Structure 1
Amino acid sequence: MEEQQMAKATAKYVRISPRKARLVVDEIRNKSVSEARAILKYSPNKAARFTLKVLNSAVANAVNNNGLDEERLYVYRVFVDEGPRLKRYYPRAFGRADIMKRRLSHITVIVKER
């Protein structure tokens, strides 16, 4: 049996926490590319903008590098990994400081033909 081709795109060091980004990517898993684009386009979340860019990049990779048909593509896998944390100091009472961790994400989208 012939193995189906896949295409992948990754956005690294995206300034959004992985927990918030996972809420968005869970909505588009196993959906067709056109349906996933519609969901992301009208989602109010900041993570949707980043995910839409990665999805469009994965589709472009599939069409241009692997010669796949854009109409038959669907979101095969999509996941968010945690990137490094930026440590920032936050002033508190009596001259003390707390550490605030700004979390970064790596968003990966893999598309495949049905």
Structure 2
Amino acid sequence: MEAKATAKYIRISPQKARLVVDLIRGKKVDDAREILNYSRKRSGQIVGKVLKSAFANAVQNPNIDEKILFVKEIFVDQGPSMKRWRARAQGRAASIKKRMSHITVILDEK
């Protein structure tokens, strides 16, 4: 039985979030939490919240044994980009894309 949680429109670059997501894919939930707790990346906290939410969703189902849950799927999709401008020399402007992410976690029993 699967449990799923999604966080959308998170203001972090998908490239940076994927660095942390790749660390916990396929791991048991307890191990994944430990990895995220000691991660020094900002996206570690964000992914940790989504993992915690997916775990809470799993616990709601009485048929699921929470001790054998693992991260079946976890992925980061790109959301919309906010376009901003930075002033440059001689009256020019350079565009800046502030990217957003959609983070999805799916837990399952082993």
The count of aligned residue pairs is: 109
Runs (4 or more) in structure 1 with deviation over 3 Å come to: none
Unaligned runs of 5+ in 1: none
Structure 1: distance between partners of 2:2 and 2:19: 24
Structure 1: distance between partners of 2:84 and 2:26: 37
Residue 18 (structure 1) aligned to one of 10, 14, 21: 14
- Identity over aligned pairs, percent: 58
Deviation at 1:96, TM superposition (A): 1.0
Structure 2: distance between partners of 1:97 and 1:80: 31
Structure 1: distance between partners of 2:84 and 2:66: 43
Unaligned runs of 5+ in 2: none
Partner of 2:38: 42
TM-score, scaled relative to structure 1: 0.94
Deviation at 1:70, TM superposition (A): 1.4
Deviation at 1:42, TM superposition (A): 0.5
**Map 1:17-96 → 2, pairs under 5 A:** 17-64=13-60, 66-67=61-62, 68-96=64-92
TM-score, scaled relative to structure 2: 0.97
